[in-house]
Amino acid sequence: MGRTSGQVRVRLTKRTLTQPNSPIGAHAHLLDRVPHNKPLLDLSQGAPGFPPAPEIQQRMAEVAAHPDGSRYGPLRGLPHLRDALLDELREVYGSNADLAVDDVCITSGCNQAFTMVVSAITEPGDEVMLAVPYYFNHDMWLQLDGAVPTYLHPSEGLSPSVADAAALLTDRTRAIVLVTPGNPTGHTIEPEFLAEFIEFARSNDVVLIIDETYRSFIPGGRAPHGLFAEPDWRDHVVSLHSFSKDLAIPGQRVGAVVGSPELLTEVAKLIDCVTICPSRLGQEGAHAGLTEAGKWRQDRVDEIAAKQRRFEEVMADKPGGFELLSAGAYYGWVRHPFVDRPTGDVVEALLLEQGILVIPGTAFMPTDEQHLRFSFANADIDRIGELTNRLGDFADRSQR
């Protein structure tokens, strides 16, 4: 039997139908209309603009060729990778950090780390605070999983305060999510703010979830926080990590949860239903990166820092009225000057008129406040300067 016109074979759930598609790739259908005299300047996806270290590539090639290279691995990750990550965490967070291997679970990327943790600590209808601007997949997953996101707007600057959180707190609040350095802003939340949040979490019996995907790009290489030295940190802190940006292996999907063994037991049940185990190939690559590619890692951090400085130089004079609000890690958070124009329209026009591809700030906020996310990390540093003329020309044309 043929399919009748208008007949729907699969009834789809409103949980997904009401969610937007990922903003990454949302304008791919327009790429063939980029002006020929203005080659694409892709500042959209937060992806490393360089390949993995030779040591990582070599190890993954060896594993791929080995007879056991594609077998299932342990549910919580390869033991030697967990040990290597533990060694690094102790080095980064200091000798007083109270960390053990049972506090570490490897995941299939940091997105999976977040989703599994949220599913393990919330019931449908429970509330989770998201610091605004938030990472869009965090907001989407909460709604898909039945939790209720509440939006933690900083009363000033880009770092929320415990006073801001207290105003949102209800008896349904289960967690607070902070991303530092931030995606999309690049802003780093200072350790003293995080110390105040753990006290708030302790006092109100909620969980502080810290997404630390970009911790390697904190200026000066200083410790992101001292929370692991708190004697009861396992009761109130969950730290999420990624190997994607630091080791340039985003497609291998390797991340980690650092939390209490009791939480990780529940996380492991969920992982078993989703991916069974993380990719062995990616885990071996991550292990090589942690143990053999130290100089390469530092060189890449320096390379991205140089791109950030160049981006800040270009944006210092507000070309075309585009104002840089913050920058760090992979990202620049920019306010566009068109008060009466929807940000989505601005993003599309920037692409079609100037060949600049960025992500609208509306992907990271519940309202349109004229923001754009620029990802300079995957751009050629010599091309970042093109923004001066392109943004200026865009503003000039828009005023005609």
3-class DSSP state of 21: coil
Q: What is the pLDDT of residue 224?
A: 95
Q: Cα(111)–Cα(357) distance, rounded to whole angstroms?
A: 23
C-alpha 6 chain-centroid distance: 39
Output the pLDDT for position 4. Answer: 57
List Cα–Cα distances, 194 to 34, 101, 180, in angstroms.
43, 23, 10
Task: Give the DSSP H or E segment for 387.
Answer: helix 386-398
Stretch 221-249: mean pLDDT: 95
pLDDT in tens, 329-348: 999 999 999 999 999 999 99
Report d(CA 265, CA 105) in Å as an integer. Answer: 9
The string of pLDDT tens digits covering residues 103-133 is 999 999 999 999 999 999 999 999 999 999 9
Least confident of 15-24, 84-93, 160-169: 15-24
> Can you tell me the mean pLDDT for 289-301?
97
- Count of alpha carbons within 13 angstroms of residue 236, beta-carbon side: 20
Sheet holding 331-335, edge to edge: 323-328, 331-335, 371-375, 359-360
Question: pLDDT of 174-190, one tens digit each?
Answer: 999 999 999 999 999 99
225 within 8 A of 197, measured Cβ to Cβ:
no
Assign residue 277 a region (left: φ > 0; alpha: ψ between -120 and 50; beta: otherwise): beta
What letter does residue 78 receive in the DSSP assignment?
Answer: -
Average pLDDT (260-265) is 98
Residue tagged 């009401």 (tokens) = 18
* Entry pTM: 0.94
Go through the domains of the chain in sequence order and give each one's CATH number.
Answer: 23-51+296-398 (3.90.1150.10), 54-292 (3.40.640.10)
**pLDDT of the residue at 6:** 64
Average pLDDT over residues 324-332: 96
